[in-house]
Amino acid sequence: MEIEKKSTGRHRVVIVGSGFGGLFAATKFKDEDVDVVLVSSTTHHLFQPLLYQVATGILSEGVIAPSTREVLKKQKNVEIFIGTVTDIDVDAKRVTAELLDSTQVYDYDSLIVAAGAGQSYFGNDHFAQFAPGMKSIDDALELRGRIFGAFETAELAAAAGQWDDVRSLLTFVVVGAGPTGVEMAGQISELANRTLADDFRHINPKDARVVLVDAAPQVLPPFGANLGKKAQGQLESMGVEVLLGQMVTNVDATGIEMKTEDGTVTRIDSVCKVWAAGVAASPLGKLLGEKTGAEVDRSGRIAVQPDLSLPGHPEIYVVGDMMSLNKLPGVAQVAIQGGRYAATSILARVKGQPSPGPFKYFDKGSMATISRFSAVTKVGRLETEGFIAWLMWLGVHLFYIIGFKSRLTTMISWALAFLGDNRDERTATEQQVHARLAIDELGDKYRPSVEVPGLLAESKTNHAIEAKDEPAQIETPKN
């Protein structure tokens, strides 16, 4: 399968990733005399800060993950391709991506790498089998199935009189007391105490135990001691147990083990665990570091120049969670502003205009919701908590949801969940819960094909296997 694109004679920008950095960079090129190719491993733009609401049944995945094509459909100078980038040739100025058994090659004049970050288990990747992270739609849907499934399974166990199993099933452990962990712990508590309170006959969901664990000495470290203490107090008033200074040392199917600074080891029996601690940049950070000589830190983030470019390669920009510059946090605003800045710099160079100068991040503050009507916000030195902070959180997040229909749907869902006790997005399937682990168990045997989608390589005829020895090449030569 070969695709050759005709030359248009224009500057070509390749963008890797459809998250905040990639999408906002792409929109900056609207109506400009450049060609834009956006390559992403997903077909959607993910509003990651609201993933926990998908996992806990408040929002549908479509509301926070609109189709990238739909978002950019009126921008005629943008082409969108799905594929996972596996190589970047910085000398030949070529990006290689793969989808199923096909290989795509994209030449570029300028490159913006905004591939984001995944979950980090701090060298204990086997924890992921029993404690899913929350970085993708797949993660959120799996967690939804695990959370609601724990209540359903507990009902069965209670009906059979297996009360030890009930206690384990109704114990939820969230690892990581940053914004994601705090929001997830708060919503599981509200789910148990409000939404599901009257739904079962053999268990009382209010008996659920929700535990928030972190090795740090406080909740929400970036927010400062004052807001961290208030957030912890609000969580504890909701019945959430907050365990600080506890380092997770082991996770298995039925529980989690923690160790304090003095070496004391404790265990909590729990079937449903959520990992919300730590991030690791896309592997492309390490790859670019090897190709360009730029430094890469322990989290996989690559050190960029003050203009977000790589040393010796002014045509390559790295933005968002992948970049390391002035200790900037891995938040959406850094990616948004970085993506826009990189696009502005490229346009200035194409038009022969002066460079915009070094990247300057404007900190718009940090926010975290704890429960309905309660949140904490920090904007500069201004700290706010409670209902006012919650209203601020609602407004900011609603603003960044893309599309009128999605905003309207979100407002209705929030009204039902926060003013009442309804959560319409409680559907979960067996595939959502078990597919990730099943694919991991298959390992290299899982080789879905364009010709025979979803079938294993071993199930094909010998002729089909031989035909796959050489992957198809999809080349999109530079203008």
Catalytic site positions: 183
- Distance in angstroms (rounded) separating the CA atoms of residues 255 and 247: 14
- At a CB cut-off of 8 Å and minimum separation 6, what does 297 contact? 303, 324
Cα-based distances in Å from 294 to 88, 286, 335, 390: 14, 9, 20, 41
Q: Give the Cα separation of 2 and 5 in Å (integer).
A: 10
Answer yes or no: are the C-beta atoms of 478 and 10 closer than 8 Å. no
The 3-state secondary structure of 184-198, one letter per residue: HHHHHHHHHHHHCCC
Q: Residue 18: which residues within 8 A CB-CB, separation 6 or more?
A: 38, 40, 42, 44, 45, 46, 68, 80
| CA–CA dist 296, 322 (Å, integer) | 10
| 37 phi and psi angles, rounded to 5 deg | -120, 115
List phi, psi (to 5°) of 139.
Answer: -60, -45
**Across-strand partners of 374?**
371
Question: Up-side HSE of residue 126: CA atoms within 13 Å toward CB?
Answer: 6
Q: Which residue, 84, 270, 277, is CA-closest to 176?
A: 277
Q: How many CA atoms lie less than 13 Å away from 38 in the CB half-sphere?
A: 32
What letter does residue 415 receive in the DSSP assignment? I
Q: Say which amino acid occupies 455.
A: L
